[in-house]
Chains A and B, each alone.
Chain A
């Protein structure tokens, strides 16, 4: 069974008087454990797709089945629960809370989910070790380098052991070297079974993914999995 199944997804925005079709008639299936790169020019609908996959946005039409369950009809709070338990986000600009330390930022999803402080502490210290941040636990985000910040963000995205990680230009704000480190980290996570969907402009990074999707004007222009089959 596919982890993600999109069929007939439409997403329209009203910009002034004109309607923009951000996504039009999109059908997509992603199996568990896949490593997918979504590419395409600005305005092609990549980010809208990622927001839909992350349940941050709702389609105007079509259905989205996550792990076999139709999630488009869930209430906002039910979707929040799905995000909390099954989905991890990695953002281009890291999105760390500036007043919280690295450890507290990593613990944030567990705090929101109401996990007991003792377990949080134990899981955070393990994550700090896994991501090489042991000595940065008490540092605030502004005391961390870009690479360290993104490592904290990835640690935060994985701390709830999600089935799916959605990364929006994870290397966009990083230099090539640290960018590579971050990609290696994400790939290692994928290797351990987590499904990884990365939106990127970077051709080189896109090429590393096992499956490439190219979007244009809200449609899927190229899907390496389909084209390989053809």
Chain B
């Protein structure tokens, strides 16, 4: 039998039982749509997080007090186990490194802000002028922190947009004196509203000079030191130099942890990539179920059309022809279902993107290819058994069932 005839015969056989065909096509479509949509969700989450992290600043190296890894034996660690404070002077020293463009010490705490009897709790970040450049923060009104001696900061603050609204309403905020904790500070700027992001919500943030924050929270230790390398290639070098400088300042004790943003990004990328894969795996189970359904449908078809198979044999069809006809039918059911599922999945992802525009819900190519491949693969695999059964029918017995 010619290939075109086999395909047409299989198509007519499938459309001859519309309800059964529609159901199995639908099952396959749901499986593929699930793979496409769920991987779009997973990969969308990955892209979203990676995008948010990139927004934290570029070429970033972060210094954390304390050590998380285990180094080789060092006499210093044998004497003391308490990490030294990560101080403003440590941060200032890192500035000397050749590969470093900007450095910003960072201290974070919560306090109360008070203006004209209105009081609320806020997150206070103590830092320096360069922090704005590193994080790409911009002010809507007024100025950023002044570039001054890190150890002698003025009593000024840059406030988030939501805090401005809640404390000042429609009256101008810049130039007003507010009370933060027990300090009186002058508002010199208002941050541009950026909306909800990963990490700190800048709309509800108060930024003050680092020295002011240290005394406000009565501490010497910084929360982080943000270091910006001169360019992407210099990130590893910046990491090494930062580590060397602070280690030297801490008398050879490696009591800090230096991580690059790339490493954090890579970790999240890997984590969410694995999540996407897991979700795809779960969705693939529905594909296997759909494959079994196709097999079931084809087994029913063989039983229903036993008389016809007997006739085909009597008319001189070899086993191969009958096998091919039934296999093509199974392949057609799964292929049409896969295609329909792909369209459904893409439509679902499109609707998702319309509802959540910030969420890049695009199914990754590998998932689409794997989904379609698995669908047609299972269709063929599960179509094989019924096709073989059809081809092996005894013509005399088959002809009697009419």
Taking Cβ atoms with an 8 Å cutoff, the residues of A that contact B are 51, 54, 56-57, 76-77, 80-85, 87, 89, 91, 93, 95, 97-100, 108-109, 111-114, 117, 156, 160
**For B310, what are the chain A residues with a Cβ–Cβ distance below 8 Å?**
95
B19 to chain A, nearest CB (A): 14
Taking Cβ atoms with an 8 Å cutoff, the residues of B that contact A are 1-2, 5, 9, 12-13, 16, 307-308, 310-321, 395-396, 399, 402
**For A89, what are the chain B residues with a Cβ–Cβ distance below 8 Å?**
314-315
Chain A residue nearest in CB terms to B391: A76
Q: Is B16 a contact partner of A99 (Cβ separation < 8 A)?
A: yes
Q: Which of B5, B307, B314, B320 contacts A77 (CB 8 A)?
A: B320
Given contacts A93-B402, A99-B12, A99-B16, contact A83 B396 (CB under 8 A): no
Chain B residue nearest in CB terms to A94: B402
Listed by A's residue number, 22 A-B pairs whose Cβ atoms lie within 8 Å are A51-B396, A56-B314, A56-B395, A57-B396, A76-B318, A76-B319, A80-B313, A80-B319, A83-B316, A84-B315, A84-B317, A89-B315, A93-B402, A95-B307, A95-B310, A95-B311, A108-B312, A109-B316, A112-B317, A113-B316, A114-B1, A156-B315
- Determine the distance from Cα of A117 to Cα of B5 in the docked complex, in whole angstroms: 9
A165 to chain B, nearest CB (A): 12
Q: Is A112 a contact partner of B315 (Cβ separation < 8 A)?
A: yes
Q: Is A80 a contact partner of B316 (Cβ separation < 8 A)?
A: yes
- Determine the distance from Cα of A76 to Cα of B316 in the docked complex, in whole angstroms: 10
**For B16, what are the chain A residues with a Cβ–Cβ distance below 8 Å?**
98-99
**For B5, what are the chain A residues with a Cβ–Cβ distance below 8 Å?**
111, 114, 117
Q: Is B13 a contact partner of A81 (Cβ separation < 8 A)?
A: no
A68 to chain B, nearest CB (A): 20
Chain A residue nearest in CB terms to B16: A99
Q: Which of A80, A87, A98, A117 contacts B317 (CB 8 A)?
A: A80
**For B396, what are the chain A residues with a Cβ–Cβ distance below 8 Å?**
51, 56-57
Given contacts A56-B313, A95-B307, contact A100 B12 (CB under 8 A): yes
**For A99, what are the chain B residues with a Cβ–Cβ distance below 8 Å?**
12-13, 16
Q: Is B319 a contact partner of A95 (Cβ separation < 8 A)?
A: no
Q: Which of A81, A83, A117, A160 contacts B314 (CB 8 A)?
A: A83
- Determine the distance from Cα of A89 to Cα of B396 in the docked complex, in whole angstroms: 12
Q: Is A83 a contact partner of B12 (Cβ separation < 8 A)?
A: no
Q: Of B311, B313, B320, which is in contact with the most chain A CB atoms at under 10 Å from its CB?
A: B311
**For B13, what are the chain A residues with a Cβ–Cβ distance below 8 Å?**
99
**For B399, what are the chain A residues with a Cβ–Cβ distance below 8 Å?**
56, 91, 95
- Determine the distance from Cα of A147 to Cα of B5 in the docked complex, in whole angstroms: 29
Chain A residue nearest in CB terms to B12: A99
B13 to chain A, nearest CB (A): 7
Q: Is A111 a contact partner of B1 (Cβ separation < 8 A)?
A: yes
- Determine the distance from Cα of A35 to Cα of B73 in the docked complex, in whole angstroms: 107
- Determine the distance from Cα of A85 to Cα of B315 in the docked complex, in whole angstroms: 9
B314 to chain A, nearest CB (A): 5
**For A81, what are the chain B residues with a Cβ–Cβ distance below 8 Å?**
316, 318
Q: Which of A56, A93, A114 contacts B2 (CB 8 A)?
A: A114
- Determine the distance from Cα of A89 to Cα of B5 in the docked complex, in whole angstroms: 22
Chain B residue nearest in CB terms to A52: B396
Chain A residue nearest in CB terms to B315: A109
Q: Is B318 a contact partner of A77 (Cβ separation < 8 A)?
A: yes
**For B315, what are the chain A residues with a Cβ–Cβ distance below 8 Å?**
83-84, 89, 108-109, 112, 156
A80 to chain B, nearest CB (A): 4
**For B314, what are the chain A residues with a Cβ–Cβ distance below 8 Å?**
54, 56, 83, 89, 95
**For B12, what are the chain A residues with a Cβ–Cβ distance below 8 Å?**
99-100
Chain B residue nearest in CB terms to A80: B318
Q: Of A99, A100, A108, A112, which is in contact with the most chain B CB atoms at under 10 Å from its CB?
A: A112
**For A117, what are the chain B residues with a Cβ–Cβ distance below 8 Å?**
5
**For A80, what are the chain B residues with a Cβ–Cβ distance below 8 Å?**
313, 316-319
- Determine the distance from Cα of A109 to Cα of B318 in the docked complex, in whole angstroms: 12
- Determine the distance from Cα of A95 to Cα of B319 in the docked complex, in whole angstroms: 19
- Determine the distance from Cα of A156 to Cα of B37 in the docked complex, in whole angstroms: 50
